[in-house]
Amino acid sequence: DTEVTQTPKHLVMGMTNKKSLKCEQHMGHRAMYWYKQKAKKPPELMFVYSYEKLSINESVPSRFSPECPNSSLLNLHLHALQPEDSALYLCASSQGSAGMVSGANVLTFGAGSRLTVL
Amino acid sequence: RKEVEQDPGPFNVPEGATVAFNCTYSNSASQSFFWYRQDCRKEPKLLMSVYSSGNEDGRFTAQLNRASQYISLLIRDSKLSDSATYLCVVRYNTNAGKSTFGDGTTLTVKP
């Protein structure tokens, strides 16, 4: 069983809907990430939170809005998405971020939320 | 040029074969290196970290050559269950929290 839990596993939404993806970890990790993965492509980084502060936004459109309520939770709020946003959205966590030894940088992924935008 | 480049594959090998994957990275400031495995429609999972001295875990051996900016993964005695996509991942400590993934190499082990 994965130690990073994502909900929902599947989500279908219209272009005018507002929905949220949720991610939770209880490993005491201080860095959390959102990745987007399209079929037959590698994961593509969207956002990084380090110690509950947004440290990286990879020029993601504003229709994706991340939120880190506390060190264990990470949300991704979705609004006015486009069909091309359909993908697997992966949450990950690691012990820390920059400047730490290799082991602390290992990413643990959740099982993902598979999003379909109609 | 991509930051992390992998053999495109696919690799189709018989059970028991030895197969090697290569990965090159462009940023010499890279500090941490990993191989992840991703099964179809599943999340990536850490296979092994890669250390400068090279490291081995059972049938899997990872090597790092910093001078050539090159990482490799060797799988000996391939099993059917090794069929997956293998992702090379490089992390730069100069850019907080960013890990860069290669495009992945798909391995199919056949009976």
Write the pLDDT tens digit of every residue in A14-58.
998 999 999 999 999 989 999 999 999 999 999 999 889 999 899
Mean pLDDT of B19-42: 91
Compute the Cα dihedral for A110, B25, B107, A116 and give only its sign: positive
More confident: A53 or A103: A53
Write down the mean pLDDT value for chain B.
91
Band of residue A103 on the pLDDT scale cut at 50, 70, 90? low
What is the side-by-side order of every strand in the sheet holding A4-7? A4-7, A18-25, A73-79, A64-70
Compute the Cα dihedral for B25, B29, B34, B39 and give only its sign: negative
Taking an 8 Å cut-off on Cβ atoms, the answer to whether B95 and A98 are in contact is yes
Report pLDDT for A13.
93
Element (H, E) at B64: strand B60-65
Mean pLDDT of A5-17: 95
A55 inside 8 A of chain B by CB: yes
Residue A100 pLDDT > 70: no
Mean pLDDT of B56-79: 95
B5 inside 8 A of chain A by CB: no
* Opening angle at CA A54, ends A48 and A60, nearest 5: 65
Taking an 8 Å cut-off on Cβ atoms, the answer to whether B99 and A105 are in contact is yes
More confident: A100 or B52: B52
- Contact in structure between B58 and B4 (CB atoms under 8 Å): no
A31 inside 8 A of chain B by CB: yes
Chain A nearest-CA distance from B81, in A, is 18
List chain A residues with CB under 8 Å of B104.
Answer: 42
List chain A residues with CB under 8 Å of B45.
Answer: 109
- Residue A65 sits at φ, ψ, to 5 deg, of -130, 110
B76 inside 8 A of chain A by CB: no
Quick one: tokens of A44?
């593509």
